[in-house]
Amino acid sequence: MNRKSLFVMIAATLVVLLFGGCGGIAIDSVSVSEKNTSEFSSVDVTTSCSRIEFVSSDRYGFDIFVPGSFTPEWDITDGRLTILENTGISIFRLGIFSPSYYVKVYCPSGSVFDEISLTSASGRINLPKTDVAKLDIRSASGRVDAYAENFTNASIVTASGSITFSGSGGNASLDSSSGTVRSMINDCESMKITTNSGSVNLTGKGESDTALTVNTASGRIQIDGTAWRDATTSTSSGKTEISGELLGNTSVETASGSVNISVHGSPSQYGYSLTPVSGSVHWDGNKMAKPAFSSGSFDNHITVNTASGGIRVSFTKR
């Protein structure tokens, strides 16, 4: 393709972005306001480019403001609110100019939901502190902020966009192809975090132990909490820092990056297998020959493997 043809193609694409779909100039818009509907205990919202937001109110209801070419549909049946923004558009029309289109869901403070399902092709999703049994959030491009309480299962997936998640409950899974993942949890049964490109910052405030799995292809891992059970972390490039009581079998893998672990407890309670290809090993303040292995049987065991980076395991009282 010559330069002239390339220029024509780029110009044509910009015209589409500006005058069609979500980006930039919209010829008309559709607005629907229903701020006093019947009560609903489940919510299912799917949008193309509008942001999705939950707002505290004294009544149940919703507001929709979308491009005129997208014919929105909504329905409340058997206590389930369904809002669908037409998603039959080309990916080139998703836009890059942060339009002000939105879907807002109103509910009284303290509402309890059986299920919340939110899907956005391009738009931010914001769920403030909400009591919900099952939470499912998916975003192709857009930041996700969510706070869920008393969940049985919570799943958040983004193709491109950061995730911030808080709450307490059963099993949580956070997956970002490209974006930082931040989470602050109280008592949770399990937490699984996966990101291809982006750092992970996890804080646990609960009293019970949480089964933990963290994987990132490229990014720093920082974990701070009370107690983790069978914690497994891996990163190909990035420093790993873990703090807390490490129960069961802890496994840390890094291709390039140091590992610092601060354990709440006594070193006599832990066995270890510390293997750096390149880097020093310190256990409880003592530099050790590498690789370093413990002898005997222990209820808790720490295994660390690094291709390039030092390993340091220290102990503190809770």
* Contact (CB, 8 A) for 121 and 49: yes
Q: How many residues does the chain have?
A: 318
User: Quick one: pLDDT at residue 91?
Assistant: 36
Helix, strand, coil percentages (3-state) for the chain, rounded to 5, are 5, 60, 35
Q: Cβ contacts of residue 290 below 8 Å, gap of 6+? A: 274, 275, 276, 279, 280, 281
Helix, strand, or coil here: 99? coil
pTM: 0.88
* Contact (CB, 8 A) for 246 and 231: yes
Q: What percent of the chain has pLDDT over 90?
A: 78
Q: Average pLDDT in the 38-48 region?
A: 96
Is pLDDT of 98 > 70? no
User: Quick one: pLDDT at residue 26?
Assistant: 43
| pLDDT per residue as tens digits for the range 219-262 | 999 999 999 999 999 999 999 999 999 999 999 999 999 999 99
Is pLDDT of 18 > 90? no
Q: What is the mean pLDDT of the chain?
A: 88
Is pLDDT of 153 > 60? yes
Is pLDDT of 207 > 50? yes
| pLDDT per residue as tens digits for the range 159-192 | 999 999 999 999 999 999 999 999 999 999 999 9
User: Quick one: pLDDT at residue 7?
Assistant: 32
Instruction: Tell me how far apart the alpha carbons of residues 57 and 53 are, in angstroms, rounded to a whole number.
Output: 13
Residue 122: pLDDT band (50, 70, 90) is confident
Instruction: Tell me how far apart the alpha carbons of residues 226 and 244 are, in angstroms, rounded to a whole number.
Output: 5
User: Quick one: pLDDT at residue 15?
Assistant: 35
The Cα-based distances of 87 to 21, 185, 230, 273 in angstroms read 10, 33, 41, 52
User: Quick one: pLDDT at residue 182?
Assistant: 98
More confident residue, 188 or 27: 188
* Contact (CB, 8 A) for 267 and 284: yes
Instruction: Tell me how far apart the alpha carbons of residues 240 and 228 are, in angstroms, rounded to a whole number.
Output: 15
More confident residue, 90 or 251: 251
List strand residue ranges (DSSP E) for 68-209, in order: 73-77, 80-84, 102-108, 112-120, 125-139, 144-158, 163-178, 181-197, 200-204
Nearest to 305 by CA among 282, 281, 280, 274: 274
The H or E element containing residue 287 is strand 286-288
Is pLDDT of 9 > 90? no
User: Quick one: pLDDT at residue 24?
Assistant: 46
Cis geometry, peptide bond prior to residue 291 (ω within 30 degrees of 0):
yes
Is pLDDT of 12 > 70? no
